[in-house]
Structure 1
Amino acid sequence: MKNWKFKNISLTLFSLIPSSIVNSFKTFSEPFQNNFENKVIENSRISKNQKIVIIRYLSIVFVLPFLLTQLLDIIIFGPLVDFLWSEQHLEVFINEDQEKEAFEELRLYKTRYYLNSLNQNTNIKLGESKSIFNQEDFEEKIREKAFEITEKYKNESKGSTKNILSDIFYFTVTVSLIIRSRQQMELVRFSLLRFIGNLSDAGKAFFLILITNLLVGFHSPHGWEVFLELVLKHFGLPENRDFIFTFIATIPVLLDTLIKYWVFSYLNSIAPSTVVTYKNMNE
């Protein structure tokens, strides 16, 4: 009976000790255990094997489909699009922006050619300018330039069509590989969380500030504008300014709200010191 009471008192006293002190004591006492060296070697071997598995997995999921897509683009997608474009006599321009750019480029060429012709002889009078301007040469040069611009935008339209086919194939293969290898993806997620957890508060705050400034910072609208223009041009879509400005005016604001909500509701509960460092660095 006395032993039972003594055990209860010991357990009660032990439960009153903060868990952080208990964990620190365990960490401090680990090097004095008999199998400590074997555990270190085993953990090092497991960590090395995990890194090899992660690198191999990421290569298979992302790099291999990319290389396969490039190969199919050369062997299948490219020749198929070229054949359809030549046989079906498809339109040169696949959107209005391309057509406007082509006409503007041809108009500038006409103006530049005419001015260069007039400047060939600086001593002539204005009334004699027609004597040095050869209409036939002018029309021939314009036809050559028009053909050059047509080929340029035809190839651009072909490239946009090839990009759509290649991206659909790449996205399908990559998503299929990720779905069929959830265990490896879980290992990647666990390793990423462990890497973030091992960072100092200043390191976590640095990456948080970097991400927020890229997405919703003062200079982010310019980055969003360039990114959207590249995406629209990649797929051969018209670069609609109203769509771009509407996107920039709404999406970054929504992302900023979600990030702030995550910081103050989730991160503040699991890592309050990181939130304090984040606030100080932002100030």
Structure 2
Amino acid sequence: MKSKSSSQKMSFIPRSILRTIGKFQQTLDPNAETKVIEEFRASRLQTISCVRFLLILIVVPLLISQLSRNFVITPLVERFWNSQESNIFLNASQEEKALAELKRFEQRVYFEARISKILTLSDEIVQKELKKKAIALVEENKVESINAVTNVLTDILTAITLIVLILTGKQQLCLLRSFAGDITYSLSDSAKAFLIILSTDIFVGFHSPYGWEIIIEGTLNHYGLPENKSLASLFIATVPVVMNTVFKYWIFRYLNRSSPSAVVTYHNMNE
């Protein structure tokens, strides 16, 4: 019952007012100096613990990813891919790009012959040049296919590592969330409003579709997937809308109660 009433109190009274009342009560406490020192020590230990856990979440997955990629995954994938002579392209889109590149190369050879860059041109010379280009394209696409498969396996291993770290460090994760929340709510109203506007404009603003297109294209190339304009258009048409709704709900549900002055500043800056 006590926790329930406390949560109700927090939901209706802004956190800034409660913080001011708490500071006023601390100044009247005769043991205020001792408590301040103890709170400072606890806050310092919490900060060190949060920073250490955050570094672990960043460094350990990256380190495992790079080591496994360079010394385990890449050699295994190269050995398997090179043992399969028929494995060149991952998908039809990659094959179509290679054929289009070979066709452009053939047209360029004939064009250079017409402008007298090549003095003698015969079918034998053309076929020899096309064969060289085809071999180069095969090797290039093999490397791209190997890199794509390696990226998939490496990212899966990195995700598993990150999940294991999170599951084994639930207490540190709670401290990290509390630390991040304290930093967020300790910002000034103008800083909160600035960060909200910056985030919404980047992810759900007027120019956000261009950024999402670059992210989707880079992700597809990273994993060797074929381009899908329909999927990209569907993603851009739905995900920013959902994120915009989540932003508005967070402002209405949490920020409006914890820091109403920041919401007013946000609306004034956004107009």
TM band (smaller chain): 0.7 to 0.9
Let me know the Cα RMSD of the aligned residues. 2.3
**Taking CA–CA contacts closer than 8 Å with sequence separation of 6 or more, which of the two structures ends up with the larger relative contact order?**
2
Contact 1:202 1:277 in 2 (8 A): yes
State yes or no: 1:191 paired with 2:179: yes
For 1:160-205, what per-residue CA distance to the aligned partner results, in whole angstroms no more than 9, with x for missing partners? Answer: 1111111111111110110111110011101100101110111111
Corresponding residue for 2:6?
none
State yes or no: 1:67 paired with 2:54: no
State yes or no: 1:224 paired with 2:224: no
Q: Which amino acid aligns with 1:25?
A: F
SS in 1 for 2:227: coil
Contact 1:92 1:150 in 2 (8 A): yes
Contact 1:118 1:133 in 2 (8 A): no
Q: Give the share of equivalent positions with the same residue, in percent.
A: 39
Matches of 1:47 and 1:114, distance apart in 2 = 74
TM, length-normalised to structure 2: 0.85
State yes or no: 1:54 paired with 2:54: no
For 1:105-155, what per-residue CA distance to the aligned partner results, in whole angstroms no more than 9, with x for missing partners? Answer: 11121122221222126xxxxxxx9x7424322221111111111111111
Contact 2:194 2:266 in 1 (8 A): yes
The answer to which of 102-111 and 134-143 deviates more is: 134-143
Matched residue count: 255
SS in 1 for 2:61: helix
Corresponding residue for 1:110?
106
What pairs with 1:141-156 in structure 2 (closer than 5 Å)? 141-156=129-144
Matches of 2:18 and 2:95, distance apart in 1 = 70
Note the C-alpha offset of 1:87. 1.8
Note the C-alpha offset of 1:29. 4.7
Corresponding residue for 1:95?
91
Q: Which has the larger radius of gyration?
A: 1
Matches of 1:210 and 1:19, distance apart in 2 = 28
State yes or no: 1:240 paired with 2:239: no
The answer to which of 213-222 and 133-142 deviates more is: 133-142
CA pair 21-68 structure 1, distance change in 2 beyond 3 A? closer
Note the C-alpha offset of 1:270. 2.4
Task: Determine which of 149, 157, 180 is the counterpart of 1:169.
Answer: 157
Note the C-alpha offset of 1:21. 7.0
Listed as ranges, the gaps of 5+ residues in structure 2 are 1-16
SS in 2 for 1:92: coil
Matches of 1:99 and 1:93, distance apart in 2 = 6
The answer to which of 164-173 and 38-47 deviates more is: 38-47
CA pair 24-73 structure 1, distance change in 2 beyond 3 A? closer
Q: Which amino acid aligns with 1:154?
A: K
Matches of 1:132 and 1:241, distance apart in 2 = 44
Note the C-alpha offset of 1:20. 7.4
The answer to which of 223-232 and 57-66 deviates more is: 57-66
TM, length-normalised to structure 1: 0.82
State yes or no: 1:133 paired with 2:121: yes
Contact 2:193 2:263 in 1 (8 A): yes
SS in 2 for 1:218: coil
Contact 1:118 1:132 in 2 (8 A): no
Contact 1:160 1:236 in 2 (8 A): yes
The answer to which of 191-200 and 251-260 deviates more is: 251-260
Task: Determine which of 180, 188, 195 is the counterpart of 2:168.
Answer: 180
